[in-house]
Amino acid sequence: MTTTTGTEAPDAALSVRDVSLRFGGITVLDGVSFDAPRGGILGLVGPNGAGKTSLFNCISGHYQPTAGSILVNGTETVRTRAWRMAQLGLARTFQHPALRLDATVLENVMLGAHSWLPGGPVSWSLRLPATRRQEREARATALELLDRTGLAWAASMPADELSHGLHKGVELCRALLSRPRLLLLDEPAAGLSHGEVEALIGTVREVRREFELTVVVVEHHMGLISALTDRVVVLDHGAKLMEGTAAEAQSDSRVVEAYLGKEAAADESA
Give 70-104 pLDDT, tens digit per residue: 999 889 999 888 888 988 999 999 888 888 888 99
Average pLDDT, the chain: 86
Taking a C-beta distance cutoff of 8 angstroms, is the pair 43, 55 a contact? no
Whether the per-residue pLDDT at 12 is higher than 60: the answer is yes
Q: Out of 10-14, 100-104, 178-182, 242-246, which region has the weakest mean confidence (pLDDT)?
A: 10-14
Mean pLDDT over 6-26 rounds to 84
Q: Tell me: the pLDDT tens digits for 219-270?
A: 888 889 999 999 999 999 999 999 999 999 989 989 888 886 654 444 454 4
Q: Tell me: the pLDDT tens digits for 124-177?
A: 555 666 677 778 888 999 999 999 888 999 999 999 999 888 898 999 999 999
- Distance, in Å, from the CA atom of 216 to the CA atom of 218, rounded to the nearest integer, reads 7
Cβ partners under 8 Å of residue 76, min gap 6: 1, 2, 3, 4, 69, 70
Q: Output the pLDDT for position 213.
A: 95
Cβ partners under 8 Å of residue 129, min gap 6: none
Q: Most confidently modeled of 19-23, 188-192, 216-220?
A: 19-23
Q: Tell me: the pLDDT tens digits for 106-118?
A: 999 998 888 776 6
Our measurement of the distance from residue 255's CA atom to the centroid of its chain's CA atoms, rounded to an integer in Å, reads 23
Query: According to the 3-state scheme, what is the secondary structure of 117-179?
Result: CCCCHHHHHHCCHHHHHHHHHHHHHHHHHHHHCCCHHHCCCEHHHCCHHHHHHHHHHHHHHCC
- Distance, in Å, from the CA atom of 104 to the CA atom of 16, rounded to the nearest integer, reads 36
**Taken in order 55, 60, 66, 71, is the CA torsion positive or negative?**
positive
- Mind listing the domains of the chain with CATH numbers? 1-89+180-270 (3.40.50.300), 98-178 (no CATH)
Whole-structure pTM value: 0.86
Taking a C-beta distance cutoff of 8 angstroms, is the pair 65, 238 a contact? no
Helix (H, G, I), strand (E, B) or coil at 199: helix
Of all residues in the chain, the percent with pLDDT exceeding 90 is 54
Cβ partners under 8 Å of residue 123, min gap 6: 130, 131
- Distance, in Å, from the CA atom of 246 to the CA atom of 27, rounded to the nearest integer, reads 27
Helix (H, G, I), strand (E, B) or coil at 216: strand
HSE on the CB side for 169, CA within 13 Å? Answer: 29
Q: Apex CA 193: angle with CA 191 and CA 60, to 5°?
A: 40
Mean pLDDT over 26-41 rounds to 95
Burial of 135 per CB tally in 10 Å (0-12, 13-18, 19+): middle
